[in-house]
Amino acid sequence: MRRYGIAVIAVLVGLVCGTADAKSVKLLAVGNSFSNNALRYFKEIVTAAGHEAIVGHAMIGGCDFDRHVRHAEAFEKDPADPQGRPYAGKKSLQELLQQEKWAYVTIQQVSHKAPIPESYQPGADRLIAIIRKYAPDAEIVVHQTWAYRDDHPVGGTKRFVSTDDMYRKVRTAYDAFGQAKGFRLIPSGDAMEAARRDPAWGPFVPDPAFDPKTAVYPTLPAEKRALHCGYSWRKDPKSGTFRLGADKFHANAQGEYLLGCVWFEFFYGESVVGNTFVPKGVSAADAKVLQRVAHRVVGEKQRPSLPAEN
């Protein structure tokens, strides 16, 4: 009987210790579709690690600093104004900031403006002021966005002329912004670039047999080592015909998994290597590579070298 009692106590102690080791993180992401990408598998990765994540999301597709501020200012002027309640559930930013006692609030610039430092202000400072007013105890963290896919038609834009150029400019702009404000940086863009250069993953490989100009539904290319969405067919609701489109900036399942691993390591401070959650559409072998890349960038703080200027 005595031995049985000791065994029960040991089990209870083990359970208590396990519970004590579990972490609960509350974070609110103020962003757009890129933060949506980063959060896609975040909670599942957290749960698989034995932790908890309470996540809020002030998300509008294609939203930059300025637009978040415009909506918040509309709410300040008139709480009944629909323009002040643009988020899911007709919430205002002010309401979301007060919804929980957030430990972290993430902010980011829209991806196509991220390489342009002058686009951050004055919107970023005004957004920061709103966050500090309504969530004064939260740490503001900058979510570093990523470069577009290698075959994205970036040439000719004044913002960047290649994927290398975009990564260099995005990273430089976010670094300067974060350092000026004293904010930590979630290195999502660094991780996407690190995977692009990793021998076990490598850069995107276009399908030489696929020509988008002559492609016929439902033909799609083999998009090897892609971290971005790529080509897809969509049915036109009016004509009923299928049209080929290409999304070379949002993350696909592999990219979203990598980003979720990055966020996990950043917010929980432990290695994601060996995490058992693998989403549908991502192979176990690919998950291992992406976990390792995320850990190298976040846990080991190994950033890719900056590409030379064009």
Q: Is the pLDDT reported for residue 192 higher than 70? A: yes
Helical (H) or strand (E) element with 46: helix 42-48
Angle at 118 between CA 71 and CA 228, to 5 degrees: 75
Which tens digits make up the pLDDT trace of 47-95?
999 999 999 999 999 999 999 999 999 999 999 999 999 999 999 999 9
Q: What CATH number does the domain containing 175 carry?
A: 3.40.50.1110
Boundaries of domain holding 64: 24-204+251-299
For residue 122, is the peptide bond before it cis, meaning its omega torsion is within 30 degrees of 0? Answer: yes
Q: Is residue 177 assigned to a domain?
A: yes
CA 97 to CA 93: how far, in whole Å? 6
Which tens digits make up the pLDDT trace of 88-124?
999 999 999 999 999 999 999 999 999 999 999 999 9
Q: Is the pLDDT reported for residue 17 higher than 80? A: no
Which tens digits make up the pLDDT trace of 265-279?
999 999 999 999 999
Q: Is residue 89 assigned to a domain?
A: yes
Q: CA-CA-CA-CA torsion for 139, 50, 266, 150, nearest 10 degrees?
A: -130
Lowest mean pLDDT among 15-19, 153-157, 192-196, 238-242: 15-19
Sheet of 139-143, strand order: 52-59, 24-31, 104-107, 139-143, 184-186
Helical (H) or strand (E) element with 167: helix 163-181
Label residue 76 exposed, middle or buried (CB < 10 Å: 0-12, 13-18, 19+).
middle
Q: How many domains does the chain have?
A: 1
